[in-house]
Amino acid sequence: MKSVVRSNISPLISKHDVNRSESVLSVDTLGNVDAPTCKCGKKCVLYISKTSKNLNIPFFRCPYFKQNRPHCNFFMPKDKFIESQITMVELLEAKINQMERDVEVMKIEIENDMETKINRLERDMEVKISQFEREIELMKIQMIEMQVKMEEATNWKRYVRMVGVVIVVWLYPFVFGSKKRLFK
Ligand SMILES: [Zn+2]
């Protein structure tokens, strides 16, 4: 694993890493710029190499490096760190773009789904409305039929009453006339 890490580092800096004494501790010139976190979980310190072969090459090290205490031996050239930051930003950008595309697709899907649902609802409503209309028509016909029947019944009652009156009028002279004749 360590050999893989070393292969990523340029040979000049690797050599420099081995010859620790040749590097010079520098003031952190990064200011507010981010620094990598070492395996101890600490923000790294920026050093600048002062070897003749490797003059003024900035690199990050564990903050406990150069201190008389155990440390994780973390090492990363500044260029590589910036590169990794750029890669991370690019990855984030790509991720955001992908997410934006996903959102667009989802929006279209939702719109299509809504449209399908609305169309189905409209069709259902139309079917229900036409059913209601048919029912209303049927009820109207039933009502007219009932009105006709009621009218017929009323007419019939009137007719019966009229016939009754006619019969009474017609029978009156016979009944009372014969009585009169009997009394006489
Ligand atoms: Zn460390």
Question: 30-39, 116-125, 156-165 — which is least confidently predicted?
Answer: 30-39
Task: With a cut of 90, say whether residue 50 has pLDDT above it.
Answer: no
List CB-based neighbours of ion ligand 1 within 5 Å.
38, 40, 62, 71-72, 74
Please give the distance, rounded to the nearest whole angstrom, from the Cα atom of residue 87 to the centre of ligand 1: 23
Residue of higher predicted confidence among 181 and 31:
181
Mean pLDDT of the chain: 81
H, E, C per residue of the chain: CHHHHHHHCCHHHHHHHHCHHHEECCCCCCCCCCCCECCCCCECEEEEEECCCCEEEEEEECCCCCCCCCCCCCEEEHHHHHHHHHHHHHHHHHHHHHHHHHHHHHHHHHHHHHHHHHHHHHHHHHHHHHHHHHHHHHHHHHHHHHHHHHHHHHHHHHHHHHHHHHHHHHHHHHHHHHHHHHHC
Task: With a cut of 90, say whether residue 27 has pLDDT above it.
Answer: no
| pLDDT of the residue at 6 | 37
Please give the distance, rounded to the nearest whole angstrom, from the Cα atom of residue 33 to the centre of ligand 1: 19
Model confidence band, residue 180 (pLDDT cutoffs 50, 70, 90): low
Please give the distance, rounded to the nearest whole angstrom, from the Cα atom of residue 110 to the centre of ligand 1: 50
Please give the distance, rounded to the nearest whole angstrom, from the Cα atom of residue 86 to the centre of ligand 1: 23
Please give the distance, rounded to the nearest whole angstrom, from the Cα atom of residue 7 to the centre of ligand 1: 20
